[in-house]
Homo-oligomer: A and B are copies of this chain.
Amino acid sequence: MKVTLNQDVLTDNNSAAAFLREQFQQSKTLVINVMSSPGAGKTTLLEKTIAELSQDYRIGVIEGDLATEIDADRIRAAGAKAVQINTNGGCHLDARMVAKAIPEFDLSEIDILFIENVGNLVCPSGYDLGQQHKIAVLSVPEGNDKIPKYPVMFRRTELVLINKIDLLPYLNFNVELAEEDLKGINPVSKLLKVSATTCEGMDHWFNWIREAYGKL
């Protein structure tokens, strides 16, 4: 299913997001919008996820960055189709950018599409990309105070991956406090502890994806 883009859907973010949502529903594609600070480990997380799930699912990735194809190249090397969007200084992806990238995929051949947003704990949270799921990655070195200090992000996501837990022995990060803080601002959000580098805890994340796909 190659998507043909009607220019009307590009008039505003909501029209483009609604158009995307309909495409994703028709093609039965699970779409996950992955957001975090720069360097929280989104791309490594996706590399490991592709390695684990690509036997069972056909995976595609949209990479959002201000500049370079560094991340898309990493995803291609991991074995998935990747389309890079460069925002040229823009601080987040919007649905119009995603709608322009979508025709580069054949959606009927993509079971799971990850949208790796621009590294930014503020701006991406406000933009609907037509995804079914919005998740946030928070890495241990960023520190405990990020959940209260960036509430707009953690209020709008349904899953927080605490990443880089392999660094817990070297850093002052309290996972229980993060769980409490998250409960305070978003009682329904889940939290999983992972290390994309060592793969510790990643099975829970893989199961979360399998379940989300099962519910499509």
- Chain A positions within 8 Å of B, measured between CB atoms, are 37-39, 65-68, 70-71, 89-91, 118-123, 139, 141-143, 145-146, 148-152, 164, 167, 170-171
Contacts and interface: CB of A to CB of B under 8 A. Distances in A.
Given A37-B38, A91-B122, A122-B118, A68 B148 contact: yes
Contact of A38 (B65, B89, B121): B121
Contact of A167 (B118, B149, B150, B170): B170
Contacts of A152: 66, 89
20 contacts: A37-B39, A38-B121, A38-B142, A38-B146, A39-B142, A66-B150, A67-B149, A67-B151, A68-B148, A90-B122, A91-B122, A119-B146, A119-B150, A120-B120, A120-B122, A123-B123, A141-B164, A141-B167, A167-B170, A167-B171
A120 B124 CA distance: 12
Contact of A139 (B90, B123, B141): B141
A68 B67 CA distance: 32
Q: Give the secondary structure class of A's interface.
A: loop
Given A121-B120, A167-B167, A149 B38 contact: yes
Contacts of A90: 122
A184 B89 CA distance: 18
Contacts of A143: 39
Contacts of A148: 67-68, 70
Contacts of A142: 37-39
Nearest to A66: B150
Contacts of A139: 39, 141
A198 to B, nearest CB: 11
A46 B80 CA distance: 43
A119 B39 contact: no
Contacts of A145: 68, 70
